[in-house]
């Protein structure tokens, strides 16, 4: 009798895979977590803090597209999304250090970034694309060292620096006037933690890639329009390669059923 080709490990659960899968499932149902999105705090330059777990930016052009939809009518838009991680994907530090030292310490990941983004936005839609289709650029970034504060008047230095930097990027010649949305998963400061202020820990977890809270927030922000998953994609450097510090980008895309591309393939 021929030996079975089924490996001895078949059917057994791989603890590493199980652990990763568990990370992708929020402990509290998202419908309950959504209650905390009501705590919105306006920051500089039109940025907003959602609780303490997320910093959000919606550019004037993106707002126009969203607001031009009329609920329940055929004017709901379909959005083709080009999503990007921030650090070591869209930008890198000028100094070559891993972490930026100031709001000015950034440059495009390579010189092709502005043109590749513009080319994607300007390419003609295929002939059978519905008229209510629009393209948007979206940034999803884990910023675990940035402290988002529950107090509206006193942002932390790290939050201020991130806002200054993202504002420079959003208003750079490459992105000014572009429909752009940006989401940064931030952390809570010790004082807020102690005083039980800000978002619950589950919401902080849910918003950090590879979990999909930032994408779900994008869906809520584009409503009643919807992102078209089949033609959208996510470019991110954390792809689990030997040189990568993490695989959070590839697993974020995988969890959403979104095409993942590494920066080397998209920008070169
Ligand atoms: Mg990165």
pLDDT digits (tens, 9 = 90+) for 174-227: 999 999 999 999 999 998 999 888 999 999 999 999 999 999 999 999 999 999
CA distance 118 to 123: 8
How many angstroms does the Cα of residue 86 sit away from the middle of ligand 1?
6
Task: Give kind and range of the element (H or E) at residue 91.
Answer: strand 91-92
How far is Cα 92 from Cα 107, in angstroms, rounded to an integer? Answer: 6
CB 53 within 8 A of CB 148: yes
Ligand 1 centroid vs 166 CA: distance in angstroms? Answer: 15
Output the CA 212–ligand 1 centroid distance in Å. Answer: 16
Ligand 1 centroid, distance to 193 Cα (angstroms)? 27
pTM, to two decimals = 0.86
Alpha-carbon distances, residue 40 vs 45, 49, 78, 261 (angstroms): 15, 6, 26, 32
Domains of the chain: 47-125+135-267 (3.40.50.1000)
Q: How far is the CA of 100 from the centre of ligand 1 (A)?
A: 13
pLDDT-derived band at 31, boundaries 50, 70, 90: low
Tell which wins on pLDDT, 98 or 47: 47
Q: pLDDT (tens digit, 9 = 90+) per residue, 2-14?
A: 444 444 444 455 5
Residue 210 CA, ligand 1 centroid: distance in Å: 12
**Mean pLDDT over all residues of the chain?**
88
Ligand 1 center–CA 91 separation, angstroms: 9
- From the CA of 68, how far away is ligand 1's center (Å)? 33
Could you tell me the pLDDT band of residue 69, with boundaries at 50, 70 and 90?
confident
């Amino acid at each position: 009798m021929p030996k079975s080709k089924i490996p001895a490990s078949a059917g057994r659960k791989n603890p590493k895979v199980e652990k990763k899968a568990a990370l992708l499932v929020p402990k509290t149902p998202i419908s309950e977590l959504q209650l905390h999105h009501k705590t919105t705090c306006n920051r500089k330059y039109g940025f907003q803090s959602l609780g303490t777990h997320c910093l959000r930016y919606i550019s004037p052009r993106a707002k126009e597209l969203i607001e031009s939809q009329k609920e329940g009518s055929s004017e709901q838009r379909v959005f083709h999304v080009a999503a990007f991680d921030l650090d070591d994907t869209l930008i890198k530090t000028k100094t070559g250090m891993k972490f930026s030292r100031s709001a000015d310490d950034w440059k495009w990941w390579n010189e092709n970034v502005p043109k590749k983004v513009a080319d994607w936005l300007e390419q003609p839609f295929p002939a059978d694309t519905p008229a209510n289709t629009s393209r948007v650029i979206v940034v999803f970034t884990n910023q675990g060292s940035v402290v988002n504060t529950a107090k509206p008047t006193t942002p932390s230095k790290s939050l201020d620096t991130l806002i200054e930097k993202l504002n420079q990027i959003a208003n750079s010649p490459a992105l000014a006037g572009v429909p752009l949305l940006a989401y940064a998963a931030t952390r809570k400061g010790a004082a807020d933690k102690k005083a039980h202020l800000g978002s619950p820990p589950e919401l902080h977890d849910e918003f950090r890639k590879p979990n999909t809270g930032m994408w779900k927030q994008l869906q809520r922000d584009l409503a009643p329009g919807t992102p078209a998953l089949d033609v959208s994609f996510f470019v991110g450097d954390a792809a689990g390669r030997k040189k990568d510090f993490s695989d959070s980008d590839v697993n974020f895309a995988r969890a959403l059923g979104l095409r993942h591309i590494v920066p080397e393939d998209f920008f070169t």
